[in-house]
Amino acid sequence: MNTFESRYAQSPKEVKQMDTAALRENFLIESIFGANQVNLTLSHFDRYIVGGAMPVHQKLDLPNPDDLKASYFLERRELGMINVGGKAIVTADGVQFELGYKEALYIGKGTKVVSFESADAAEPGKLYLNSAPAHHTYPTKKVSKAEAEIVELGTPETANHRIINKLLVNSVLPTCQLQMGMTELKSGSVWNTMPAHTHDRRMEAYFYFEVPQGQSVCHFMGQPQETRHIWMQNDQAVISPNWSIHSGAGTSNYTFIWGMAGENLDYGDMDHCAITELK
């Protein structure tokens, strides 16, 4: 059975008073994938939707939750996805796209019927989904890692040597406001997005995967001088408000997908926080 959840937005003042359980209830998305399910969570921060589709033995249709008050899911939205499982087949208004591991697909506003299926039930596709409101229709397009804009950052000495794969960003293809990419940490590195930053013009969501069995990632959030943390497990996501930092450190190296939406498409629009000033 598909699931849909709606979560309200919170201010820094409210979050300052939250205990561990409240932080997890409001920001952590524990169940992204379920066999033969499409699970969706809507955040009132920029009306952003985070979810996952995991077709195993059957084709799954992208649902249209009543809360959207739309004729179909993409009537006033755009959709991005990155496959973190076996080979998947995504059909958008009759056009099929094969997505291998870590390949991405952007589907534009106005696409009426979207479905997901796996090429092999023994190795099902796991499609991590992000969606944002859209005002214009842009072409549906698949983006492989080879087509991504790639940036290498950090150093082994600071334990943050990482490769940033910009997949669904405006330097690769046009979108309304949705942007998605994937950061792969090198062996021996554990810190992501450090030095930390905020960007009041965009909210963000992180999805952590390739976390080795028995290991975890500690995600940091909150205002730079009032930080909080949430312990994350493999295949979990976390919502990051536009006023919050979004950074993490793992007990091993791992990979994460970042997605964001808001007022601009400038990837470099960040308000940086000095490491020594975090509290």
In this prediction, the residues of the chain whose per-residue pLDDT falls under 50 are none
C-alpha 193: how far from its chain's center?
14
At 126 the pLDDT is 98
Q: Is 245 helix (H, G, I), strand (E, B) or coil?
A: coil
At 265 the pLDDT is 86
At 264 the pLDDT is 86
At 266 the pLDDT is 82
**Distance, CA of 268 to CA of 102 (rounded, Å):** 23
At 102 the pLDDT is 98
Find the DSSP H helices in the chain.
12-16, 20-27
CATH code at 3-277: 2.60.120.10
At 196 the pLDDT is 93
Q: Are the beta carbons of 240 and 198 closer than 8 angstroms?
A: no
Phi and psi torsions of 136, nearest 5°: -145, 155
Helices and strands of the chain, counted as H and E runs: 2, 24
At 161 the pLDDT is 97
The sign of the CA dihedral 141, 143, 149, 152 is positive
Write down the domain spans for the chain.
3-277
Q: Is the pTM of this model over 0.85?
A: yes
At 78 the pLDDT is 98
